[in-house]
Amino acid sequence: MKNEVSSYRDAEGISQADLAAAVDVSRQTINAIERDRYDPSIELAFKLARYFDCRIEDLFDPELEDDGSGDRA
């Protein structure tokens, strides 16, 4: 899932460790999210959005693709 966590973090001028401490996860978790190697839980996504005072949709783009079936996943 594509995300803008790094951009928001850079704009705030904080380190991965500082952000991790603020949302109660490890620095490695923040790094993995920023590198698109880990999708956060909904709880963590809400914490990050609350921290940056934005919507979850501003931070994360699930890149849902339409398979043409008309079914919703």
Task: Going from the first residue of the chain to its last (73 residues), give the mean pLDDT of each consecutive group of 10, the final group possibly shorter.
Answer: 96 98 98 96 98 97 65 51
- The reported pLDDT for the residue numbered 44 is 98
- The reported pLDDT for the residue numbered 70 is 53
Long-range contacts of 46-54 (CB under 8 A, 24+ apart): 47/23, 48/5, 48/19, 48/23, 51/19, 51/22, 51/23, 52/8, 52/12, 54/8
Task: Sketch out the chain's domains with CATH numbers.
Answer: 2-55 (1.10.260.40)
- The reported pLDDT for the residue numbered 32 is 98
- The reported pLDDT for the residue numbered 68 is 56
- The reported pLDDT for the residue numbered 62 is 80
Sign of CA dihedral 8, 44, 56, 69: positive
Cα angle 14, 23, 62 (rounded to 5 degrees) comes to 90
pTM: 0.84
| 18, amino acid identity | D
